[in-house]
Each structure stands twice: as C-alpha cells, then as structure tokens.
Amino acid sequence: MSTPENLLNSAEPVKIAVTGAAGNIAYSLLWRIAAGEVYGPNQPVQLNLLEIEQAEQAARGVAMELLDSAFPLVTDIKVTSEPREAFEDVSAAFLVGAQPRKKGMERADLLTANGAIFTEQGAALNDVARRTVRVLVVGNPANTNALIASSNAPDLAPQQFNALMRLDHNRTVSQLSAKLGIPVADFAQIAVWGNHSASQFPDISYATAQGKNVAELVDATWVQDYLIPTVAKRGAEIIEVRGSSSAASAASASIDHMRDWIHGIEDPAAWRTAGIYSDGSYGIEEGLFVGLPTRAVGGAWEVVTGLDVTDAQQERIQASVDELKAERDMVADLLK
Ligand code: NAX
C-alpha cells in the first residue's frame, strides 16, 4: 500500500466508486463523500455510481441531485451499470449494492445470489482499480461478500478489502454513552468481534471512559442481557420502528471507516472495529473477514494484539467465527 499522503490534497481528483447508487444508503453516503468527509476538504473527487441496469435511470436522478447540490469538490459524476467502467482507476470503492433477502429465500440462496455480484465486482476491481485501492464492503452478508470479492481479486492484497462493522461499533458506544451519561468521544478500547450478524460479540471487557474501567461502571447482567443483544439486533429493531432498514447510520459508519482507514488515528487507545482479513490473531482462522479490535495507523488497520481473552469471551468469539466459516463453506465454489 502506498502512503495515503500521495492521495491527499492533490489537484487531481480522487476517483471513488459507490455501488447500489440508487439505494437508501447511497442516498446519504454520496452526499457526505461529495462534501469531502472522506478525503478531506481540499481534495477534489470524481464520483462513479454503479447500479444494475434496471435502476440505472434512478441512479441518473441521484446524479442530477448531486449536481444540483453544487459541491465545490466534485469534478465529475459518472453513472454506469458496468463494473469495469465504475472501478476504472478508483482509489476507494464502497460496495453497497446487494440483493436483498426475498420472501422464502434461505440464507444459502442469499449468499449465492450476492456471491455472483461480489465475484464479478472483485474481478473488475482487480483489473481496473488503482493498485492501492481501498474497498469497503457494506452489502450483506458483508464479511463473506468481502471474502468473495477479495478472493476474486488475486492481484490486490486481501488487506485492501474490508467489511463494514463500524456501525456495530458505533451502536455499542452510543448505547454505553446513553446508559452512563458520558459523551461518546470519551470511550476507548471497545470492539465488536466476529460477523456483522446477530452472532457478533460487542465486547466492553477492555473499555475505558474518562479514565475509568467501563466494566466496573455497568452491571454485568445489563451487558449480557441488554447491551449485547440490543447491539446485535439493532438492525431489526430499526426496521421495526422506522419501517425501513438503517441507511443514514450505515452511511455515516461507512464514512467513519473509510476516513479513519485513509487518515489513521493518532491515539493508540482509540480502537475501532473493522471487518478485516484475519491474520490468525486470537486463534481465529486465517483468511476469514472478521470484526476485530484495530488501530488505524499509516493508512492500514493493525490488529490490537496481546489482549487477555477469557474462556467466556473466547466462546462468544468462536460462535461468530464458526458462523463465518459456515458462510465461507456455502460459497466455496466462488472462492479462488
Ligand atoms: P437498497 O435496496 O435501498 O439499495 C441497494 C441497491 O443496490 C439497489 O438500488 C439495487 O438496485 C442495487 N444493486 C443490487 N445489485 C447491484 C449490483 N450488482 N451492482 C450495483 N448495484 C446493485 O439497500 P440499502 O438500504 O442501500 O442497503 C444496501 C446493503 O447494505 C444491503 O445489503 C444491506 O443489508 C446492507 N447493510 C449493511 C450494513 C452493515 O453494517 N454492513 C448496515 C446497513 C445495511 O443493512
């Protein structure tokens, strides 16, 4: 990976692809990218919008609205249904577009349907994206889709592909903040292990807030019976209450993730959760895309190593990793 500096504040626009451009998340995400929230307020950007053919016209409407917003940083907007056009020379790709689960569809059917999308997009990124491209997979099942895309991009490092787990991280922090009446910015050393699914493990064992040990500020029963299930099932709760799935919060987390990945975070206690390629840390099988405690340093994610993990934590982590392994086995024929 090159240093991020060579992409920052350059007069040349940075090309950024967003797939699922006519969808809900993109309708929020694109505006924040256009405002300079990923690469910074001095970096011009070109937006490449990818949609399926049936939704290409709607994506053109989105592009018209982006134009109408007169963002000073936006130099060009392209709309296409061709992955190779969308990913040409891009420095960042947000893979948001995915097939939703339809009535009667089994999880395996969903994995296969989306597998086809991420096989094609991984191969296209491999062929035409910048060699330093950063790819954030948002479309579900995000972790396994990241695995498929990366596996079909043999010339790119697997570390260039991430799955979005920052929304789970942000949800954990905000629940703690509401419970304790402490500002979100004062929390550190929080992580969500595993899969972006109900099996995930939001873990506050190491968390601190204003110099205090968070685990000592909250009741262990509240953590087990409220915090963990609330965060893990928050997506379903949003659908129930809002009537449609998380969109602006997912876009916001995507911005947080990509911005931190590119720019890094100075504070070593400022862990973030990213769904990254497992290097075997904590006994997690290498090669899966797993939510882990990470630091953003020098344009890359580093796993926070050396943490003591109790048997109870290990059990929860393993349950989620086992689900990831089962997902991987269901898409084995799509992996190279
Ligand atoms: P929408 O259904 O509103 O939009 C998805 C868009 O993707 C549609 O316009 C569709 O035409 C397009 N699309 C489908 N296949 C495509 C392809 N091959 N190439 C390009 N575009 C394609 O969904 P939205 O609410 O935007 O959510 C998008 C994805 O994010 C879903 O898979 C959703 O489950 C996932 N999420 C992931 C989250 C995470 O934290 N990782 C949280 C939010 C969200 O649930």
CB of 142 sitting under 6 A from ligand 1: yes
One domain, residues 125 and 32 = yes
- Rounded distance between C-alpha atoms, residue 278 and residue 272, angstroms: 15
pTM of this structure: 0.96
pLDDT at 10 (0 to 100) = 63
* Lookup result for tokens 């990945």: 261
Residue with the smallest CA separation from ligand 1 atom 2 is 23
Q: Which atom of ligand 1 is nearest to the CA of 22?
A: 9
Are 93 and 17 contacting, i.e. CB atoms less than 8 angstroms apart? Answer: yes
Final residue of a structural domain among 140, 163, 186:
163
> Does residue 74 form part of some domain?
yes
Final residue of a structural domain among 107, 138, 163:
163
One domain, residues 104 and 225 = no
pLDDT at 214 (0 to 100) = 98
Cα radius of gyration (the chain):
19
Domain containing residue 268: 166-330
CB of 81 sitting under 6 A from ligand 1: no
**What are the residue ranges in the chain where pLDDT is below 50?**
1-8
Residue with the smallest CA separation from ligand 1 atom 3 is 23
Query: Any idea what the Cα angle at residue 334 is, between residues 330 and 335, rounded to 5°?
Result: 95
For a ligand 1 pocket test, name from 53, 112, 114, 140 the mutation site with the most ligand atoms within 8 angstroms of its C-beta: 140
One domain, residues 282 and 234 = yes
pLDDT at 1 (0 to 100) = 36
Final residue of a structural domain among 109, 141, 163:
163
Q: Which atom of ligand 1 is nearest to the CA of 26?
A: 26
Encode pLDDT of 264-316 as tens digits. Answer: 998 888 999 999 999 999 999 999 999 999 999 999 999 999 999 999 999 99
Task: Give the residue ranges of the annotated binding site for NAD(+).
Answer: 20-26, 114, 121, 138-140
196 is catalytic: yes
One domain, residues 269 and 283 = yes
Encode pLDDT of 232-266 as tens digits. Answer: 999 999 999 999 999 999 999 999 999 999 999 98
- Rounded distance between C-alpha atoms, residue 248 and residue 238, angstroms: 11
Q: Which pair of tokens denotes residue 76?
A: 């060009």
Q: Which residues contact 332 (CB under 8 A, 6 or more apart)?
A: none
3-state secondary structure 124-162: HHHHHCCCCCEEEECCCCHHHHHHHHHHCCCCCCHHHEE
